[in-house]
């Protein structure tokens, strides 16, 4: 279950704070932007769902582990650094206690944001609030369903006073989703292809039958009481086609929201597609309009700074704060 030392050094250089044996926290780019601009610049979660950006804690319970090797992923993979490590679900006996993970994550997050103290651009009130996070994004790195106590982790965040918890999953472990005893506030499934051929070429699953597993997870979304989202991370010449295919998957999942978003050529993704191959916001907006026409979902909002559009069958997005 150990994370290779070379990978740990990469994470450290990228600003990750390791928490225990298999978890980590990182202060999001948008948290920093929000603090430095007095809240004038913030992420899509604040614009769409009312989540105060500077009070968001971003973490992973499965550092370095994922069951896909997506072409657009910015993270370091075994093929990038020439070091192999486990990408499978680790045994429950080796999983650290959810309560301990949450407590350590809060401590690491507070230590990270305390570095903004003394910055004349940062309001004292906002800095104090940033040290008391209210939202947890279990989406930083790796695949969260590989951590076997994911439902208990969500419950632990709620128990520490968090008002909302998001989970972002690749959907390749439908059993883990089915067994979630405590639901997040919002459950994201990354759906980055309209069909199996595009999926295999784009997401490069590391386990057999990835597309079937993803379809099973999408069907499961109908049984959840929480808000559900299909996130489409798009590259024009790779998977940004066939809006009717994406619409069929939205119908299968009956998702609350759809979020088409441009993939960024950053980090290790730069080794696989260039800056000139990225979609710009106007490209994502056009695709969202086509998706809306095919799916019956309506465009509710957009965040040009993040090249993302929000669609739903609801008349407006639900504000969580």
Residue 51 lies in a domain: yes
Is residue 307 within 8 Å of residue 272, measured between CB atoms? no
Tell whether the model's pLDDT for residue 199 goes beyond 90.
yes
Residue 317 lies in a domain: no
Residue 321 lies in a domain: no
Residue 318 lies in a domain: no
Is residue 164 within 8 Å of residue 51, measured between CB atoms? yes
Tell whether the model's pLDDT for residue 1 goes beyond 70.
no
The encoded tokens of residue 244 equal 């009717």
pLDDT of residue 91: 87
Q: What is the mean pLDDT of the chain?
A: 95
Q: How confident is the model at residue 86 (pLDDT cuts 50, 70, 90)?
A: confident
149-182 in b/e form (b: 16+ CB < 10 A) is bbbbbbbbbbeeebbbbbbbbbbbbbebbeebeb
pLDDT of residue 82: 82
Residue 152 lies in a domain: yes
Backbone angle region of 163, left / alpha / beta, with phi > 0 → left and psi within -120 to 50 → alpha: alpha
Give the chain's domain count. 1
Residue 191 sits in which domain range? Answer: 5-312
State pLDDT tens for residues 269-298: 898 889 999 999 999 999 999 999 999 999
Residue 164 lies in a domain: yes
Residue 320 lies in a domain: no
**Which of 93-97, 172-176, 198-202, 228-232 is least confident?**
93-97
pTM: 0.96
Tell whether the model's pLDDT for residue 2 goes beyond 80.
no
Q: How confident is the model at residue 253 (pLDDT cuts 50, 70, 90)?
A: very high
CATH number at residue 93: 3.20.20.70
Is residue 191 within 8 Å of residue 245, measured between CB atoms? no
Neighbours of 92 (CB within 10 A): 9
Residue 216 lies in a domain: yes
Neighbours of 304 (CB within 10 A): 13
């Amino acid at each position: 279950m150990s994370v290779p030392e070379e990978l740990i050094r990469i994470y450290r250089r990228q600003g990750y704070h390791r928490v225990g044996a298999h978890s980590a926290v990182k202060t999001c780019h948008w948290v920093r932007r929000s603090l430095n601009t007095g809240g004038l610049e913030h992420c899509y979660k604040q614009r769409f769902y009312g989540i105060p950006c500077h009070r968001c804690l971003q973490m992973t319970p499965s550092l370095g582990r994922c069951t896909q090797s997506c072409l657009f992923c910015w993270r370091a993979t075994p093929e990038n650094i020439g070091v192999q490590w486990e990408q499978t679900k680790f045994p429950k006996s080796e999983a650290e206690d959810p309560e301990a993970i949450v407590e350590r994550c809060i401590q690491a997050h507070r230590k990270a944001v305390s570095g903004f103290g003394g910055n004349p651009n940062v309001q004292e009130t906002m800095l104090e609030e940033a040290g008391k996070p209210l939202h947890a994004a279990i989406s930083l790195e790796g695949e969260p369903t590989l951590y076997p106590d994911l439902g208990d982790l969500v419950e632990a965040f709620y128990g520490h006073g968090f008002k909302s918890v998001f989970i972002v999953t690749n959907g390749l472990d439908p059993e883990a989703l089915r067994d979630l005893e405590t639901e997040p506030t919002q459950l994201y499934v990354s759906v980055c292809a309209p069909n199996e051929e595009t999926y295999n070429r784009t997401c490069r699953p590391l386990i057999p039958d990835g597309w079937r597993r993803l379809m099973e997870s999408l069907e499961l979304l109908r049984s959840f009481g929480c808000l559900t989202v299909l996130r489409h991370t798009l590259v024009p010449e790779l998977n940004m086609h066939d809006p009717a295919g994406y619409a069929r998957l939205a119908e299968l999942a009956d998702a609350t929201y759809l979020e088409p978003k441009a993939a960024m050529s950053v980090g290790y993704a730069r080794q696989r597609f260039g800056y000139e191959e990225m979609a710009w916001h106007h490209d994502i907006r056009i695709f969202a309009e086509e998706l809306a026409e095919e799916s019956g979902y309506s465009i509710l909002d957009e965040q040009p700074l993040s090249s993302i559009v929000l669609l739903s069958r609801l008349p407006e997005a639900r504000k969580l704060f």
